[in-house]
Amino acid sequence: MEQLTLARVEEGRHGEEEARGSQYLTFSAGGQMYGIGILAIKEIIQYGGISTVPLVPEFISGVINLRGSVVPVVDLAARFSGQPTRPTGRSCIIIVEAQEEDEIQDVGVVVDSVSGVLDFLPADIEPAPAFGTHIKAEFISGMGRVNGHFIMLLNVQRVLALDALLSNGSAALQ
C-alpha cells in the first residue's frame, strides 16, 4: 500500500498560514499544478474504494472508508473545470483537514498525481492576481514561484467550503 503520512504540526488557521513562507505539497489535477500547505494535510492514500453518493454535484466523487470513518471525497478537477478526473495508476486521494465553523472534518481530494513537497520562502510567493486564472481568486492564497513558473497555492478552506454549495445541489430530490 502506497501510503505516506506527513508530519502534522498543531496549528489553528491553515488559510492564513499558507500566505507566509512554509512547505507545500504540490500535485497536479486536471493538468494543472497546485500546492496545498502541508499543515492542513493528514495523509495521502491510493485512489480507489470510492462509493458514489447520488443527488450531489458531480465534483463530489463520493465517500470512502478511511479506517472506519466515512470521509467525503471531492474531485478537484471537476470542482475547478467541470471535467471529472479520469483515474490512472498515479491518481491519489489527499486527506485534508477542513474546518467548518468550529468543526474539523476530514475531506479527501482526488488529484492526478502528487509531485512532492516544496519549500516556499515568503519572497517566492506572489499575491493572487485579480483575474486571469481559471479558478476563482478567492480559492488562491498565493502564487508560488518555482524555476520561473508559478504554482497556484490553494486556500483549502475556501475550496472545500462545500456547505453552501451542497445545500443548493441536493435540492434535486425534493
Partner 1 sequence: MNLERALQTFIEESRELLSAMEDALLALESAPGDGDAINAVFRAMHTIKGSAGLFGLDAIVEFTHVAESVMDRVRSDEIAVDESLIALMLRCRDHLVTLIDDLASGQQGEHAAVGAALVQALQALLGGGSNATVAVATENAAPQPEAGANATTGEGVGNDAWHISVRFAGNLLRNGYDPLSFVRYLATLSEILHVEPVTDALPPAQEMDPEECYLGFEIRLAAGPAQADIEAAFEFVQDDCSLLILPPHAPLTDYALLIATRPEADEQLGALLVSCGALTEAEVAQVLSAADATPELVVAATPAPAVAPAAAPAARQGREATTVKRSSSAIRVDASKLDQLIDLVGELVIAGASAEVMARRSRDRNLMEANSSVSQLVDAIRDSALRLRMVEIGETFNRFRRVVRDVSQELGKEIELTITGAETELDKSVVERIGDPLMHLVRNAMDHGIETAEVRVQQGKPAAGSLKLHAYHDSGSIVIEISDDGRGLDKERILAKAQERGLVAAGQTLSDQEIYGLIFQPGFSTAEQVTNLSGRGVGMDVVRRNIDALRGAIELDSRPGVGTTVSIRLPLTLAIIEGFLVGVGEAAYIIPLDSVVECIELDHGAIGQQNYLNLRGRVLPFLRLRELFHSRGQPARRQNVVVVRYAGQSAGLVVDRLMGEFQTVIKPLGRMFRHLRGFAGSTILGSGEVALILDVQDLIRTATERHCHAAEIAAECVETV
- Site residues for partner 1 per CB under 8 A: 49, 51-56, 60, 62-65, 67-72, 100, 103, 105, 107, 162-163, 166-167, 170, 173-174
- Taking the least distance from each CB to partner 1, the nearer of 147 and 174 is 174
* Residue 155 beta carbon to partner 1: minimum distance, rounded to whole angstroms: 18
Q: What are phi and psi of 79, to 5 degrees?
A: -65, -40
* Residue 45 beta carbon to partner 1: minimum distance, rounded to whole angstroms: 12
* Residue 6 beta carbon to partner 1: minimum distance, rounded to whole angstroms: 22
State how far the alpha carbon of 123 is from the alpha carbons of 19, 22, 23, 150, in Å. Answer: 11, 11, 13, 13
- Taking the least distance from each CB to partner 1, the nearer of 92 and 107 is 107
* Residue 60 beta carbon to partner 1: minimum distance, rounded to whole angstroms: 8
State how far the alpha carbon of 57 is from the alpha carbons of 28, 44, 51, 169, in Å. Answer: 22, 24, 14, 6
Is residue 94 within 8 A of residue 117, CB to CB? The reply is no
